[in-house]
């Protein structure tokens, strides 16, 4: 590989670029995770992350990727053969479904077209037919990273409540947390799953389960085997700021700094910034005459925008060309969308000029790849950003 000057544009929908402040915070000696100094760090991040999830309940931090936290949510609350209801919002919902099936759970998948979020009424309708309360949990992906569609978690909560069904409500906001508005307590979520490498602006390597009293009560009866993921041992150690096994100490230094940065900016401002950049991106896509995959304006993701290419044009070829020519990584189409779409990540530590550089790379790439489009998308985004 030849030397490339300047910064690589990492515009995939996570991992997102890690700000220098976070890199510097992590650049510290590893300390004894059972020594007196560690408890201050442990307590600071365990308290701080609750504010990001908007919860008063405990949040468990695993040295694992998001997939581990998916598994943890299920094995702590469910028993072999339990029925769970999931919604086919895209590739990540499909992977969570596969994981649940491998654990021996009976998964019912409400079908979806990968262009809409989970349908609150379809969930309610299925729960109403479940007279014997066989369904133990409803699992929804909040921000479906494969499609750029954000499900309406508050509406789904209300729809579940209207049925009076006692199922647990579990939500994956691995790519939503700290970019899209999220309210664990207010939305009555029992287990929220998240990860470090998206809105929290950290490298990959830690992931989370935010809990509820109901989830903790269910954990006492749940019989799926668990050891590493067991909330019990975690919470017992966390009470004094420690972990039952070696934590990802340097990522926790980074997490402390990330929480500080998010709180100095203000979470509401962070969410508004993401909405504004998402809107500018959609305006660019529209000006190019291309199609945004998400069909419901109420479900457009503030985290990423997925762009559908005209029939006969290979999105992977376009991405390869943009990487080679302009040193920018864009997200690939996943699962059944492979080659059909590319995904623009606009999450985490991003500002107007980073976004405009990203959109310029896409617009130049479309021209170089011979993808039919109208020029002027960047201009449209500039006009929008300059006006507000």
Interface residue list for ligand PLP (CB under 6 A): 14, 65-67, 92, 141, 145, 172, 174-175, 195, 204
Q: How far is the CB of 29 from ligand PLP (least distance, A)?
A: 27
The number of beta carbons lying within 10 Å of the beta carbon of residue 286 is 14
The number of beta carbons lying within 10 Å of the beta carbon of residue 94 is 21
Q: How far is the CB of 160 from ligand PLP (least distance, A)?
A: 20
Q: How far is the CB of 147 from ligand PLP (least distance, A)?
A: 10
Token pair in block for residue 251:
């990522």
Cis? peptide before 341, omega within 30° of 0: no
Q: How far is the CB of 91 from ligand PLP (least distance, A)?
A: 9
DSSP 318-347: HHHHHHHHH-EEEEEP-GGGTTTEEEEE--
Entry field: residues in the chain: 388
The number of beta carbons lying within 10 Å of the beta carbon of residue 128 is 12
Q: How far is the CB of 198 from ligand PLP (least distance, A)?
A: 7
Q: How far is the CB of 72 from ligand PLP (least distance, A)?
A: 12
Of 85, 80, 61, the C-alpha closest to 196 is: 61
DSSP 193-228: EEESSSTT-PPS--EEEE--HHHHHHHHH--S--ST
Residue closer to ligand PLP, measured from CB, 228 or 376:
228
**Distance of alpha carbon 125 from alpha carbon 75, whole angstroms:** 26
The upper half-sphere exposure of residue 55, i.e. CA atoms within 13 Å in the direction of its Cβ, equals 25
**Distance of alpha carbon 269 from alpha carbon 262, whole angstroms:** 9
Residue closer to ligand PLP, measured from CB, 175 or 212:
175
Q: How far is the CB of 94 from ligand PLP (least distance, A)?
A: 10
Q: Are 75 and 222 in contact (CB under 8 A)?
A: yes
The number of beta carbons lying within 10 Å of the beta carbon of residue 134 is 12
Residue closer to ligand PLP, measured from CB, 141 or 344:
141
Residue with the CB atom nearest ligand PLP in the bound state:
66
3-state class percentages of the chain: helix first, strand second, coil last, to nearest 5: 45, 15, 40
Strand-pair category, 291-292 with 106-110: unpaired
Q: How far is the CB of 199 from ligand PLP (least distance, A)?
A: 11
Residue closer to ligand PLP, measured from CB, 175 or 358:
175
Q: How far is the CB of 183 from ligand PLP (least distance, A)?
A: 18
Residue closer to ligand PLP, measured from CB, 172 or 257:
172
Residue closer to ligand PLP, measured from CB, 283 or 319:
319
**Distance of alpha carbon 99 from alpha carbon 74, whole angstroms:** 9
Residue closer to ligand PLP, measured from CB, 199 or 377:
199
Residue closer to ligand PLP, measured from CB, 59 or 127:
59
Residue closer to ligand PLP, measured from CB, 193 or 234:
193
């Amino acid at each position: 590989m030849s030397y490339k000057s300047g910064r690589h544009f990492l515009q995939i929908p996570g991992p997102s670029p890690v700000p220098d402040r976070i890199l510097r915070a992590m650049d510290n000696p590893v300390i004894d995770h059972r020594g007196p100094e560690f408890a201050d760090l442990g307590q600071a991040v365990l308290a701080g992350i609750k504010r990001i999830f908007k919860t008063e309940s405990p949040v468990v931090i695993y040295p694992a990727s998001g997939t581990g936290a998916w598994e943890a949510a299920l094995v702590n609350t469910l028993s072999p053969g339990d029925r769970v209801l999931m919604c086919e919002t895209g590739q990540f919902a499909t992977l969570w479904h596969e994981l649940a099936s491998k654990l021996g759970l009976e998964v019912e998948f409400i079908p979806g077209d990968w262009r809409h979020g989970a349908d609150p009424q379809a969930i309610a309708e299925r729960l109403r037919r479940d007279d014997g309360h066989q369904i133990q949990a409803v699992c929804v992906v909040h921000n479906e990273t494969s499609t750029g569609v954000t499900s309406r978690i508050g509406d789904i909560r209300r729809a579940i409540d209207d049925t009076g069904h006692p199922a647990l409500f579990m939500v994956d906001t691995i790519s939503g947390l700290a970019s899209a508005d999220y309210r664990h307590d207010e939305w009555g979520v029992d287990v929220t799953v998240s990860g470090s490498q998206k809105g929290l602006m950290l490298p990959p390597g830690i992931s989370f389960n935010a809990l509820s009293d109901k989830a903790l009560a269910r954990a006492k009866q749940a019989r799926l085997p668990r050891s590493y993921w067991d909330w019990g041992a975690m919470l017992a150690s966390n009470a004094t700021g420690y972990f039952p096994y070696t934590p990802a100490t340097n990522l926790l230094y980074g997490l402390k700094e990330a929480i500080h940065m998010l709180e100095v900016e203000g979470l509401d401002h962070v969410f508004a910034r993401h909405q504004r950049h998402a809107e500018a991106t959609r305006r660019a896509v529209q000006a190019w005459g291309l199609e945004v995959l998400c069909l419901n304006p109420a479900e457009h993701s503030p985290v990423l925008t997925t762009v559908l290419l005209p029939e006969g044009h290979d999105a992977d070829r376009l991405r390869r060309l943009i990487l080679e020519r302009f040193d920018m990584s864009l997200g690939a189409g996943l699962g059944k969308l492979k080659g059909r779409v590319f995904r623009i990540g606009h999450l985490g530590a991003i500002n107007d000029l980073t976004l405009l550089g990203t959109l310029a790379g896409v617009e130049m790439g479309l021209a170089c790849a011979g993808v039919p489009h109208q020029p002027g998308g960047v201009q449209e985004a500039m006009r929008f950003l300059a006006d507000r």
